Amino acid sequence: MKRLDLIFGERELTAMLESLEAVEVPGYTVMKHVTGRGPERVVSEDMEFTGLGANAHVIVFCEEIMLEKIKNKIEPLLNYYGGVAYVSEATPL
């Protein structure tokens, strides 16, 4: 099994989850109110109230073969709005 970590703007969360559902991931976990810095911008907690939102961190545990499908679906979103996606190994306990 693989673990996919997605970090991107909270305002794109709905679109991102819809993409994940579209490729029928077995499940996902969402952490909101995440902040950080990437090559493009600084996301800080104190700006949350403005509606700009913080980042969301989404974790997906899934089979390796699913990754390609996910990639195709979410790459446009990540390219347009920014965000990162990393894959690691994971085995069920």
Partner 1 sequence: MESGLILQNVLTPPVLFFFLGTIAVFVRSDLEIPAPLPKLFSLYLLLAIGFRGGLELQKSGWGYPVIPTVMCAILMSLIIPLICFGVLRIKFDVFNSAAIAAAYGSISAVTFITAESFLENQGIPFDGFMVAALALMESPAIIVGLLLVKLGAPIRKKPSNRMRWKEILHEALLNGSAYLLVGSLLIGFITAANNPSALEKMQPFTGKLFYGAECFFLLDMGIVAAQRLPRLKQAGTFLIFFAIVMPIFNALLGVLVAKALALEAGNALLFVVLCASASYLAVPAAMRMTVPEAKSSYYISTTLGLTFPFNIVIGIPLYMSLVNKMIPLTT
Single residue of 24, 40, 46, 89 touching ligand AMP by CB under 6 A:
40
Of 46 and 89, nearer to partner 1 (C-beta) is: 46
The CA distance from 68 to 37, in Å, is 26
Q: In this structure, what token pair is assigned to residue 81?
A: 């709005």
Residue 42 touching partner 1 (CB under 8 A): yes
90 touches a second copy (CB under 8 A): yes
Q: Is the dihedral of CA 30, 32, 36, 39 positive or negative?
A: positive
The length of the chain is 93
What's at 88, amino acid-wise?
Answer: S
- Residue with Cβ nearer partner 1 (24 or 46): 46
Task: Say how far apart CA 25 and CA 92 lie, in whole Å.
Answer: 16
Q: Which is nearer to a second copy, 27 or 50 (CB)?
A: 27
Q: Which range of residues in 20-28, 60-68, 80-88 is near partner 1 by CB under 8 A? A: 80-88
Residue 53 interacting with partner 1 (CB under 8 A): yes
